[in-house]
């Protein structure tokens, strides 16, 4: 990242940290300056927000019984040295 501005590719890498409020102040300022000028990145950010909201409201589905049994068997069958 340059010291005085960011480009779209850099914004794309920082977008989730921006939404999580996890950017340092100096980077946050650069991101917000970029967003003020870039329609594409504002749209991209909106897409991430919409996707996150949709996923957050989607109930978790339980795995099919056969899948669950296969997973349990795989965990039980792994070597003891690979277990926590």
As given in the structure block, the two tokens for residue 8 are 């779209």
In degrees, to the nearest 5, what angle opens at C-alpha 74 toward C-alphas 68 and 80? 140
The answer as to whether 1 is a domain residue is: no
Cβ 41 vs Cβ 32: under 8 Å: no
Looking at the structure of the chain, the number of domains it has is 1
pLDDT digits (tens, 9 = 90+) for 26-63: 999 999 999 999 999 999 999 999 999 998 888 888 88
Q: 21: domain range? A: 8-78
Distance CA 45, CA 12 (A): 8
- Residue 69 within any structural domain of the chain: yes
Q: Tell me if 2 is assigned to some domain.
A: no
Residue 14 falls inside a structural domain = yes
Q: Is the pLDDT of residue 69 over 90?
A: yes
Report the chain's mean pLDDT, rounded to a whole number: 90
């Amino acid at each position: 990242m340059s010291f005085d501005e960011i480009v779209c590719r850099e914004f794309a890498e920082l977008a989730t940290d921006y939404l999580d409020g996890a950017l340092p102040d100096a980077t946050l300022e650069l991101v917000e300056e970029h967003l003020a000028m870039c329609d594409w990145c504002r749209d991209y950010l909106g897409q991430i927000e919409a996707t996150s909201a949709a996923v957050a409201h989607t109930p978790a589905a339980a795995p099919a019984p056969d899948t669950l049994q296969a997973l349990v068997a795989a965990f039980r069958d792994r070597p003891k040295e690979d277990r926590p």
